[in-house]
Amino acid sequence: MTAEDFEQSMAALFAWREENDNCANAMLGILYVLRNRVEAGWHHGSWIENIAHAEEHHPGQKTVDAYPDVRDPAFLQVLQLVDEVYDGRRKDNLTGGALYWARPMKVDPKSWFATEIMNDPVKHPRTGSIGGTMFYGEVKDVEGNK
């Protein structure tokens, strides 16, 4: 196993843990957001650090600590596609370049995520939706600041 194989495995597991009650496209959406964060230089551009620190940018939803059935068709689909997302061959046609995701019905309306991300469409426009999971981008000002 290579370092890239390990990162891809951890990313697939994380995506499954986030969206296992949704669909393969929602899991794929999480992979895209991770890649978008890596490409934006979040957490030193490290896949593992972005996974480890994901809850810092999460709307209070705790990632489940479980493991997938490796025969699950949705998880198998994610395993087949994770390398293409990882190396950039697969274009993000689901999240519109999102850097955040949430299930709005589970977000505390007084939380930082609600006030800073969900309720500020000028800076964080909604860029996609998959099965109840919403994806949000980030608009930088003219000087390139968040």
- Between CA 68 and CA 62 the distance in angstroms is 17
Residue 57 has pLDDT above 70, yes or no: yes
CA angle 75, 68, 136 (to 5 degrees): 60
- For residue range 21-42, what is the model confidence (pLDDT) as tens digits? 999 999 999 999 999 999 999 9
Can you tell me the mean pLDDT for 99-116? 93
- Between CA 9 and CA 111 the distance in angstroms is 31
CB-CB contact of 42 with 56 (8 Å): no
What is the reported pLDDT for 145?
56
Mean pLDDT over each residue of the chain, to the nearest integer: 93
Q: How many CB atoms lie within 10 A of CB 128?
A: 21
Residue 139 has pLDDT above 60, yes or no: yes
Residue 139 three-state SS: coil
What is the reported pLDDT for 140?
82
What is the reported pLDDT for 144?
54
Residue 49 three-state SS: helix
- For residue range 70-105, what is the model confidence (pLDDT) as tens digits? 999 999 999 999 999 999 999 999 999 999 999 998
Token digits of residue 10 = 């951890």
- For the whole model, what pTM was predicted? 0.92
